[in-house]
Amino acid sequence: MQKLDRITVGALLDRTAAQFPENDALVYNHRDLRLSYQEFNRLCRKVAKGLMALGIQKGEHIAIWATNVPEWVTLQFTTGKMGAVLVTVNTNYKSFEVEYLLQQSDATTLVMIGGTKTTNYLKIINELCPELKDCPPGQLNSARLPLLKNIIFIGEEAQPGMLNWNDLLELANQITDEELDARQASLDPDDCINMQYTSGTTGFPKGVMLTHTNLVNNAHSIANCMAFSERDRLLITVPFFHCFGCVLGTMTCVVSGATMVPLEVFNPVRVLEIVDQERCTALHGVPTMFIMELEELAKGNYDVSSLRTGIMAGSPCPIEVMKAVVDRMGMKEITITYGQTEASPAITMTRTDDPIELRVATVGKVIPNVEAKIVDPETGEDCPPGIQGEICSRGYNVMKGYYKMPEATAQAIDQDGWLHTGDLGIMDEKGYFKITGRLKDMIIRGGENVYPREIEEFLYTHPLIKDVQVVGVPSMKYGEEVLAYVQLREGVTLTKEEIQDYCRDKIAKYKIPSYVLFIDHYPITASGKIQKYKLREQAITALGLENLTKIETA
C-alpha cells in the first residue's frame, strides 16, 4: 500500500517543478499559453507574494468565481503556498446563491471574471455591494458582506473599487522570497486549504473543508489507478470549482508531472480539436459530455488516437456509453471514479488493468489508504456481499468537516470516523462496488448536485405558490432532470413558463425545474410525511419516461 504523502500543495508544486522543470505544466491551446513546471511554479510564487502584500493572512478565505481560466489554476497552487483557503464558487450561481456563499464562507477576498454568456458577474457583485463604485480598491466596506474587503478582477479594464490581476503581480515586489518561504514552511498538511460548497444530502449548501493531505493523497491514488506519469497530457473539460476539475484534474497532473490542458468552457468540438492538436492522452468528463463528444466524432474527422485513459464520473455512467468511449474514442484504459466532495472526492475507482466488464459495470474497488463498507441504513450493521445498503468511507480522504456547521458535520461523520455518503450500493465478494441509488432524494443533473429543499425554499417565495415538492426524473442527456410538483393558492393560475421565468437570474440554470406538474394532493404516509418516491413514480408515468428507468449504469 502506498505511504501517505505528508506535504502541502505548495511544497508539492516545488517538488514537481524540481523533478520535471521543462515539462509542460499548463497549456491553453486557444490562448497559445504554455508554461513549463519551472515557469508555472515561478508564477505561483509571484502571485502568492502579491496576496501577502495585500495583507492576506494564513487561513483567510479567498473566493474564486470564474470559469477554467489560467488565473483559476494559478490561484489554486498560489493559495497552497501562502496558506489562504480557496473557496470555490459555482460558475452557474446567481445573486441569491453568491450572497449566501460569500456570507457563510467569511470570504475577505473575491477573485472574479466579468461573467459568462448567461450571467453578468460584475452586475451581480455591484448590486450586492453598491459601495464598490465609491471605494478605493482593497477598502470595500459592504453592508451586506461586511467581511469582504478585496475584489480582484481578472481582465484588462479597470473596475470601480476593484484591483486587477496584474496589480497582484506588481504588489509581489513588496514581499521577499524569504518571507514567502517562511509563510509556506509554516503551513501544516492538515490545514484546511480548500472549501467547496455542496448541497450534500441536507438543506442549503455547506462549505466542505478539505486539507492539503486530503487533496494531495487523493490525487496520488487517482494517478496510480490511471497509471499516470509525466508523459501524460490531460484535457480538463470539467469545471475547476468541482473536485472533478481541481483534484481529479489539476492535482492529479501535478502529483504526476503530467500536463494540464484545461478548456475554459465545455464545447464538444473544441474537445476533439484539442485532443487532436495537443495529442492528449487522457480526457475527463461526466457521461453527458462523452455522449456529446461521441456525436461530434461521428460527424467530423478528428484524430483521437493519442487517447489512452481518463475518468467518467459525476453521475451514474451508462454502460453503453462506457463501451462506446472505449470502442470509438480508443480510451481502452478509461476508468470510473465514485465519491463525493466530502471524501476529497474519490472513495472507489476502477483500475486501467481491470477487465473491461468490471470497468464498465462497476465503480471499482476502494482506493489505497481508504476504507469503505456497506451498512444497513436502519441498524448500522455491516451488509454481506451482494446486499444493498448505504456506502460509508473512512480514512485520510474524509473532510475536516462543514464550515461553521458542527451539527451537520456530526450527522455526516459518525463517532468512529465513518463518512455516511447517503448513497446506496452493493459490494461483491471481490470488493467491487456498484451504485444502486440514493438514500436521500438529492438529484444529480449532468454532474451537478441539486438538493430539492433549496429549490423548494426558493419557490416558496412565489406569492401564488402554496406548496411545492421537487423530485428528480430520469433524463437521457443529463442523467436526471428537476421536476417541481406545485400546489397553487386557491383561485389563482400559474403556468410552467411563469414559474421558470420567476427562477431565472435568481437561481442557477441547472436548478430551474425542467418540468412542472400541478397537483391538488400529495401522497403521504400514515404519519403525514410526503412520499417523494411515489411522486417520482407518478411523474415518470405522466411524462412517459418509463424506458429511461431501464438504462443500466455502474
Beta bridge partners of 471: 483
For residue 323, what are the contacts with CB-CB under 8 A and spacing of at least 6? 360
pLDDT of residue 529: 67
Q: What are the pLDDT digits (tens) for 140-178? A: 999 999 999 999 999 999 999 999 999 999 999 999 999
pLDDT of residue 230: 98
At 200, the pLDDT band (50, 70, 90 cuts) reads: very low
Using the predicted structure, report yes or no on whether residue 332 has a pLDDT greater than 90: yes
Contact (Cβ atoms closer than 8 angstroms) between residue 455 and residue 470: yes
C-alpha dist (Å) from residue 396 to 108, 152, 270, 365: 29, 34, 37, 17
Q: What is the mean pLDDT of the chain?
A: 94
Using the predicted structure, report yes or no on whether residue 406 has a pLDDT greater than 90: yes
pLDDT of residue 378: 82
**At which residue does the C-alpha cell 407518478 appear?**
538
Q: Where are the domains of the chain?
A: 9-328, 444-550
Q: What are the pLDDT digits (tens) for 277-331? A: 999 999 999 988 998 999 999 998 999 999 999 999 987 787 888 999 999 999 9
First to last CA, the chain: 26
Q: What are the pLDDT digits (tens) for 209-251? A: 999 999 999 999 999 999 999 999 999 999 999 999 999 999 9
Contact (Cβ atoms closer than 8 angstroms) between residue 180 and residue 430: no
Contact (Cβ atoms closer than 8 angstroms) between residue 487 and residue 468: yes
Q: Which fold has domain 9-328?
A: Rossmann fold (3.40.50)
At 202, the pLDDT band (50, 70, 90 cuts) reads: very low
At 553, the pLDDT band (50, 70, 90 cuts) reads: confident
pLDDT of residue 545: 94
* Residue 119, phi then psi, degrees to nearest 5: -140, 130
Beta bridge partners of 120: 115
C-alpha dist (Å) from residue 42 to 79, 87, 310: 14, 23, 29
Q: Rounded to whole angstroms, how far apart are CA atoms 357 and 95? A: 45
Q: What are the pLDDT digits (tens) for 109-128? A: 999 999 999 899 999 999 99
C-alpha dist (Å) from residue 324 to 227, 236, 297: 22, 20, 11
Residue of 350 and 554 predicted with greater confidence: 350
CATH number of the domain at 444-550, out of 3.40.1350.10, 3.30.499.10, 3.40.50.1390, 3.30.300.30?
3.30.300.30
Using the predicted structure, report yes or no on whether residue 13 has a pLDDT greater than 90: yes
Rounded average pLDDT over 73-100: 96
pLDDT of residue 320: 83
Percent above pLDDT 90 for the chain: 83
